[in-house]
Chain A
């Protein structure tokens, strides 16, 4: 029983990692209609930035804040300079560009920092009181931050004018212009906020999966699966999906298929969701007019 609880809690913690990246995916999808294949690598690059700042003597939380801010700006910049040019291009074009971006970032970080795996200290070690039951301080910290992020994103879209405007800009750009929304700015903000969320996700994940240029590769796959399972139109759906994937992956790995088939399991989930119910458990089906 203890073993099961341990697996469950580890699964939940991993699920939070996936969920936090899934939130970034949801943000970009809700505001631009795209699934950002490069989200993981962008998060990884942000994490390296934070690590560099800390290595140069900056205390953790200021480095965290600065990284989030810089990632926000970088995200906006990428949308404005690169992604915007493919507005109206055939569907495959922007997907290829995002893939290109993904490997460009991966290669650049590898070039600059090398591919050695580094260990990173958790910021929550100082706050050992967070530890609760089977969860260590860091794991509890991840859980809290993820829940906080989810609440913020949900509230943003539901209750703020800007959130509504960003959703509208993605749904019907023409009508959005006609009510006075600066659609271009909304798109850039979407990417910026997503990059910021990704930065948080990466910085939380690093102490667990260790810091190396490929650290987010597995995470992004689980994040995709979680976002698809929960519904990519829905912040809390994506979180639930991420948690579910984390738990399922862990339990399946421990009791069913063995740890070395976890990725295959995830693949099966993704294909199943996409063929049976593409909008996920809680998402909304968007019907396109022919």
Chain B
């Protein structure tokens, strides 16, 4: 069961009451998941609204990465409901989920280390119909990450951590997704590099309207960047609401965020 902060009635920016809340892009109800015989998720309830960034927070092993893997179906055993744009994701194979518009940047980046940057991006565009389209999207990605353009033909495994993260995000952006699942982009990166990437991310979200579900251990950064946030503890969502609210709340900060 999740405790949701009452969004309306507070001082602060709220939508005028006449406009209805947009239906969630991603809806997760009672999601349970297992790795082999071990249960990791015990009933996740989560909503991701279209546009903007939603952060998924929690300690190590709480189930954040598992949640993302459950959504993109690179994890075998799941039970519950996952709905994207009204479509049931549970029945779909991983490759079809990509075609629906959900891409996933896994933890550890998942770049094809032995292939070049260009080839990584080409693979990102695997589900696109025409070569021309792929080429166009690659140029668009290079426009977002100019640094990568200079390293087009370099083997991805030889890039710096920050550049590999750019490749990973760029690859996820190739098929014009509606939702990107982003798993710990700050991992192993220097703070300046992370800030850089997050800035770019913010820009991308603003420009293209893509939604992001962001898993992060770095709470400050995440709450800074995100619009909404949810906190997972031992496989369940315990708190969710607007990022700004979570930042301000003392109890949440002390009990769950540790400061």
Contacts and interface: CB of A to CB of B under 8 A. Distances in A.
Interface string A185-212: 0000000000000000000000000000
Task: List the 5 closest A-B pairs by CB distance, nearest first.
Answer: A180-B98, A175-B110, A180-B127, A177-B94, A180-B95
Contacts of A167: 115
A171 B127 contact: no
A284 B113 CA distance: 13
B104 interface: yes
B74 interface: yes
A161 B74 contact: no
B124 interface: yes
Nearest to B175: A180
B99 interface: yes
B179 to A, nearest CB: 13
A175 B175 contact: no
A135 B70 CA distance: 61
B42 interface: no
Interface string A133-175: 0000000000000000000000000000100110110011011
Nearest to B96: A180
A75 B113 CA distance: 29
B123 A179 contact: yes
A180 B126 contact: yes
B106 A175 contact: yes
Contacts of A178: 72, 74, 94, 98, 103-104, 106, 110
A168 B103 contact: no
Contacts of B72: 177-178
Given A178-B72, A178-B103, A171 B123 contact: no
B110 A165 contact: no
Nearest to B104: A178
Contact of B99 (A165, A177, A180, A284): A180
Contacts of B106: 174-175, 178
Given A164-B115, A176-B123, 5 more contacts: A175-B110, A179-B103, A179-B171, A181-B123, A284-B114
Nearest to B174: A179
B124 A179 contact: yes
A155 B127 CA distance: 21
A5 interface: no
Contacts of B95: 177, 180-182
A286 interface: yes
B122 interface: yes
Interface string B172-205: 0011000000000000000000000000000000
Interface in B116-143: 119, 122-124, 126-127, 131
Chain A CB within 10 Å, residue with most, of B95, B98, B112, B123: B123
B112 A177 contact: no
A180 B124 CA distance: 8
A168 B112 contact: yes
22 contacts: A161-B122, A161-B126, A164-B123, A168-B115, A168-B123, A171-B112, A171-B114, A175-B106, A175-B123, A177-B72, A177-B74, A178-B103, A178-B106, A179-B103, A179-B124, A179-B127, A179-B174, A180-B98, A180-B99, A180-B175, A181-B95, A181-B126
A176 B112 CA distance: 9
Interface of A: 161, 164-165, 167-168, 171-172, 174-182, 284, 286
A174 B131 CA distance: 24
Interface in B208-253: none
A174 B91 CA distance: 19
Contacts of A172: 110, 112-113
A172 B123 CA distance: 12
Contacts of B123: 164-165, 168, 175-176, 179, 181
Contacts of A286: 114
A59 to B, nearest CB: 38
B65 interface: no
Contacts of B164: none
B67 interface: no
Chain B CB within 10 Å, residue with most, of A164, A179, A181, A182: A179
Chain B CB within 10 Å, residue with most, of A175, A176, A177, A182: A175
A169 to B, nearest CB: 10
Contacts of A165: 123, 126
A161 B94 CA distance: 19
Nearest to B93: A182
B252 to A, nearest CB: 32
A167 B74 CA distance: 19
A172 B111 CA distance: 8
Interface in B72-104: 72, 74, 93-95, 98-99, 103-104
